[in-house]
């Protein structure tokens, strides 16, 4: 390949890579938003509320976060709990409210997430978030820090409408 051809080929390939990367990032963001909408829609038809799932997981420790999620194209209610310095994922059936699985969380991203959630979350404020949002259903609750203060970020859904409410902890 001659030098002239190499000179224009590198910038063209670089531009194509940047464009392809941007397209993949936008596609991933779109898929994530689509997944959130699918989860919210499925959660609205679940017989078990997030609050009831939290109560079901109580025998496995203090709840530090909870969310409806799709696992293998099936809705489940996942609750992270802490007890005795150890963390667990408790899976609650969204139709019966029964605990179907409890697994220890000992490493990886889930462990890191559980540690930070435990540090920020004393008690989920789902009822408080729902009080001012008639007709909405809680989809997830996750601890967060906002302006240096611990808050529970409660995701709510009503029909096609999704919103997040911050409740001080």
What pLDDT digit, counting tens, does each position of 27-71 carry? 444 444 557 888 888 888 899 998 899 889 989 988 888 999 999
Please indicate whether residue 15 or residue 138 has the higher confidence score (pLDDT).
Answer: 138
Q: What is the C-alpha separation between 68 and 36, in angstroms, rounded?
A: 10
Which strand ranges, in their side-by-side order, compose the sheet holding 74-83? 99-105, 86-92, 74-83, 62-71, 137-146, 149-158, 161-168
Q: pTM, whole model, 2 decimals?
A: 0.60
Residue located via tokens 């409740």: 167
């Amino acid at each position: 390949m001659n030098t002239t051809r190499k000179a224009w080929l590198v910038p063209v390939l670089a531009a194509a890579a940047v464009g392809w990367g941007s397209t993949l990032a936008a596609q991933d963001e779109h898929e994530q938003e689509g997944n959130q909408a699918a989860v919210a829609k499925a959660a609205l038809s679940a017989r078990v509320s997030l609050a009831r799932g939290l109560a079901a997981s109580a025998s496995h420790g203090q709840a530090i976060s909870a969310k409806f999620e799709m696992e293998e194209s099936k809705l489940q209610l996942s609750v992270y709990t802490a007890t005795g310095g150890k963390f667990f994922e408790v899976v609650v059936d969204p139709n019966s409210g029964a605990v179907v699985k409890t697994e220890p969380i000992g490493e990886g991203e889930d462990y890191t997430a559980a540690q930070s959630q435990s540090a920020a979350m004393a008690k989920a404020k789902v009822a408080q978030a729902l009080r001012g949002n008639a007709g909405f259903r809680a989809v997830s609750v996750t601890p967060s820090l906002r302006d240096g203060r611990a808050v529970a970020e409660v995701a709510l859904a009503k029909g096609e409408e999704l919103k997040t409410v911050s409740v001080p902890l």
